[in-house]
Amino acid sequence: MEELLARVTQKTGLDAATAEKAIGLILAFLKKEGPPNEVNQLIAALPGSEDVIAQAGNGGGGGGLMGMMGSMGGGVMALGGQLMSAGVSMGQMQPLGQELFAYGREKAGEDVMGPIVGSIPGLTQFV
């Protein structure tokens, strides 16, 4: 996870804590919205990913602003709202997604990442 964090912070300019939270939010989103088999393979290929998902606090929808965002519609737009609430700007979202998905392709392979990207409407614009 340290290698991924270093790459994301370099590409986006985010501090390590914000980058880690953002990665956790994205992985939690993929776990919820993506094809279970491929997402589980991705998470298995990224040591420490279960921890960042848990630390992101996105397990049950939560209350406050995060809960409101999730109940407003979901999908990629809700993820964008969560990332903005975590301190990720609009300009940082695409490089964040690109780096995370490039790393996922390196570790889990295109046969895992392709179906994940293809199954979630609107995700292609961020990866």
* Whole-number average pLDDT of the chain: 88
DSSP letters spanning 72-90: TT-HHHHHHHHHHHTT--H
Q: What is the pLDDT of residues 50-59, one digit of tens each?
A: 999 999 974 4
The structure tokens listed for 125 are 């614009």
Residue type present at position 30 = L
Q: What is the pLDDT of residues 54-84, one digit of tens each?
A: 999 744 444 444 444 444 457 899 999 999 9
The structure tokens listed for 34 are 């993506």
Give pTM, 2 decimals: 0.87
**DSSP reduced 3-state for 46:** coil
Residue 10's pLDDT band, with cuts at 50, 70 and 90, is very high
pLDDT of residue 127: 84
pLDDT of residue 49: 96
